[in-house]
Amino acid sequence: MTEPGFVPLEFHEYPPETMQQRAADLLAELQRRRSVREFSDRPVPRDLIATCIRAAGTAPNGANKQPWHFVAVSDASVKQQIRAAAEAEERAFYEQRAPQDWLDDLAPLGTTWQKPFLEIAPYLIVVLAQRFERLPNGDTSKNYYVQESVGIATGMLITALHHAGLATLTHTPSPMDFLGKILQRPDNERPFLIVVTGYPADDAQVPAITKKPLDDIATFV
């Protein structure tokens, strides 16, 4: 491969007060983000989803391999298949597999095996992690820090969708191999999670839970 070389950094410097204001504004916006489980079926423009996926694709990642793929599902029959397969796994989880302490931890969230939002929400963005890359000549090429890279990209996707004015839910049916099959994804990809997105239902409610204070989550040395 030819070396891409180097270009000057495009860096925006702000006055210190502006920096503080920008940080506080973003904090306030992110504090309004909640995981939503009651969605409206109101449509969302495909271009909006595409722009948010492009934002996710700017994430820092191992050796710039960009080891992710996003499948934005709006097709009703594909959503129906995903719901049916996810509910089968979730039912086994809630009724058999989950240890009691896990169920106790989930109780305040009010979750059950039923996932109607998988059909109601206009978009299910399935995030897939590419464990390695398949080159056009059939060779494989290594990817690095795949979980970290895809996790960061997913965080940026959720932030972009929230910033654009959409509600999201990170949904992790387990196991979720069925997603690769339904979506006919290649064997180098593993489903990472589903970002359910759309407008919230008019009467949507969220659990009365809070975030830890700064002192609990940060230490300055």
Of the listed pieces 1-9, 132-140, 145-153, 169-177, which binds ligand IYR according to CB under 6 A? 169-177
- Rounded Cα gap, residues 173 and 39, in angstroms: 18
How many residues touch ligand IYR under the rule CB under 6 A: the total is 8
Binding residue for ligand IYR, selected from 44, 81, 83, 90, defined by CB under 6 A? 90
| Alpha-helical regions (H) of 32-145 | 46-56, 76-92, 100-106, 117-120
Site for ligand IYR in 7-36 (CB under 6 A): none
Q: How far apart are CA 102 and CA 94, in angstroms?
A: 10
| Contact call for residues 128 and 70 (beta carbons, < 8 A) | yes
* HEC per residue, 154-191: HHHHHHHHHHHCCEEEEECCCCCHHHHHHCCCCCCEEE
CB 203 within 8 A of CB 131: no
In the chain, how many H helices and how many E strands? 8, 6
- Binding to ligand IYR by residue 121, rule CB under 6 A? no
Selected binder of ligand IYR within 153, 171, 195, 201 (CB under 6 A): 171
- Of the candidate spans 7-15, 105-113, 146-154, 194-202, the one that interacts with ligand IYR by CB under 6 A turns out to be 105-113
- Continuous segment of H or E residues that includes residue 149: helix 146-164
For ligand IYR, give the closer residue by CB, 30 or 109. Answer: 109
Rounded Cα–Cα distance for residues 210 and 120 (Å): 27
Instruction: Determine which residue in the list 66, 74, 111, 188 makes contact with ligand IYR, applying CB under 6 A.
Output: 111
Considering only residues 51, 58, 80, 172, which one is a binding residue for ligand IYR as defined by CB under 6 A? Answer: 172
| CB 212 to ligand IYR: min, Å | 16
Residue nearer to ligand IYR on the CB measure, 48 or 106: 106
Candidates 51, 58, 141, 174: give the one binding ligand IYR (CB under 6 A).
174
Residue 173 CA to chain centroid, in angstroms? 13
| Binding piece for ligand IYR, criterion CB under 6 A, among 16-24, 49-57, 165-173, 203-211 | 165-173
The minimum distance between CB 94 and ligand IYR, in angstroms, equals 7
Contact residues: ligand IYR, CB under 6 A: 90, 106, 109, 111, 171-174
